[in-house]
Amino acid sequence: MQLLPTCLAEIRGGSTEAVRAAELRQLQLTKPAGSMGALERLGSRLSGSQGTSPPRIPERPAIAVFAGDHGVHAQGVTPWPQEVTGQMVANIASGGAVVCALARQVGAELVVVDVGVAAPVDVLEPRVRFLDRNVARGTADLATGPALTREQAVAALEVGISVAHDLVDSGVDLLVTGEMGIANTTPAAALVAAFSGDDAERVTGRGTGVDDEILVRKMDVVRRAVERAASATDPVDVLAEVGGLEHAALAGLLLGGAQRRVPVVIDGVIAASAAITAAALAPDAVDHWVAGHLSAEPGARVALDHLGLEPLLDLGMRLGEGSGAALAVPLVQSAARLLNEVATFDSAGVTGKDAPA
């Protein structure tokens, strides 16, 4: 298995020439300079990722939802039973989850990948593509020791890389991160703390509905795990110590997209924790990523700030599944579309600002 080292070796940053060309083009379009705000910066970013100006308009977005379970569930860090992970994978596969409705709304393909669910997922007559790439039947309890072996972490990273490659090879031109995993905000918080250097208390949140008592316990688990991770020798070791299988696979998807120069939209705190992990492995990959939204989970903002990424949406969402990133897809397409389709002052015969009367 040489997927990971090859991927890391092939990643290049965005093209500064293409970014500059897009920025110049923005100034010629029939609109006041800068008046489309973040959408203009996004258009230039897409140019950099693709290495061309104007950027191609993404027409084949695909959402990859990676699912996994977590030994840390035993610590009582969530009020949801662990079996919900597999049940929700089945719900996604049968088209009934939030991310399914949003994928239909934005015209995105959807694939759900079992990379670490505890019990085999029973998917009869799936309406959504389901991939069984299970690396382990859930992680070990990160409160008491490493969540993963190094080999498991690498295998899950490579699941994500290979899913990115397969999707891009099939014509997908915009990758969207999604995940499902009861208790997975705990390893996400630990990854964000470990790679940002920020406090466990600052990055740990209430996930999908944690009360004060559970929150204190969760912060304590995260703090102790991050202390242990401080002696890790490299980013993969940190990921193995405190991460999760879907976090690793998402990091792989982010790296595989960057390798192929296909933009990847980051969803909430799980995807952001995967991104901060992936950036530790390949800092140049960040140029190929777009922050879809700002999750209500505090670790998301810490991770995005650390990566220098500006979230497009801020709707107070904290669902995961890829929901916030899916909603951002039309914004990404719009940013590229403007650079392709808006007339210039010259071509439209429109007088510019400050022209003599």
Instruction: Write out the catalytic residue numbers.
Output: 321
Q: Quick one: 2 or 349, whose CB is closer to a second copy?
A: 349
In the complex, what is the shortest distance from the CB of residue 221 to a second copy, in angstroms, rounded to a whole number? 18
| 127 binds a second copy per the rule CB under 8 A | no
Nearer to a second copy, 13 or 330 (CB): 330
**Please, which of residues 87-116 interact with a second copy by CB under 8 A?**
87-88, 90-91, 94, 96-98, 100-102, 104-106
- For residues 6 and 344, which CB has a smaller minimum distance to a second copy in the complex? 344
Distance CA(46)–CA(57), nearest Å, equals 9
- Which of 172, 181, 201, 151 lies closest to 71, judged by CA? 181
Q: In sequence order, which residues have a C-beta less than 8 Å from that of residue 287 and are 6 or more positions away?
A: 13, 14, 45, 48, 49, 258
**How many chain residues interact with a second copy (CB under 8 A)?**
61
Q: Residues 62, 172: contact at Cβ < 8 Å?
A: yes
Give, in degrees to the nearest 5, the angle at Cα 273 between 268 and 274: 100
* 169 vs 353 by CB, closer to a second copy: 353
Q: What part of residues 246-275 is at the interface with a second copy (CB under 8 A)? A: none
d(CA 319, CA 267): 10
Give 55's contacts (C-beta < 8 A, 6+ positions apart).
Answer: 18, 22, 43, 46, 47, 49, 335, 336, 339, 340
| Nearest distance from C-beta of residue 6 to a second copy, angstroms | 36
CB 224, min distance to a second copy, A: 24
Listed in sequence order, the DSSP H helices in 173-244 are 185-196, 200-203, 212-229, 235-242
> Under rule CB under 8 A, which residues in 285-344 are in contact with a second copy?
296, 312-319, 323, 327, 330-331, 333-334, 337-338, 340-343
Coil/strand/helix, residue 278? helix
Residues 135 and 23 sit within 8 Å (Cβ to Cβ): no
Task: Look at the block and give the residue holding tokens 């990566």.
Answer: 307
Stretch that binds a second copy, among 163-171, 245-253, 276-284, 347-355 (CB under 8 A): 347-355
Buried b (16+ CB within 10 A) or exposed e, 43-60: bbbbbbbbebbbbebbee
Smallest distance, a second copy to C-beta of residue 230, A: 32
- Shortest gap between Cβ of 136 and a second copy (angstroms)? 22
Q: List contacts with a second copy (CB under 8 A).
A: 29-33, 35-39, 79-81, 83-84, 87-88, 90-91, 94, 96-98, 100-102, 104-106, 208-209, 296, 312-319, 323, 327, 330-331, 333-334, 337-338, 340-343, 347-351, 353-355, 357
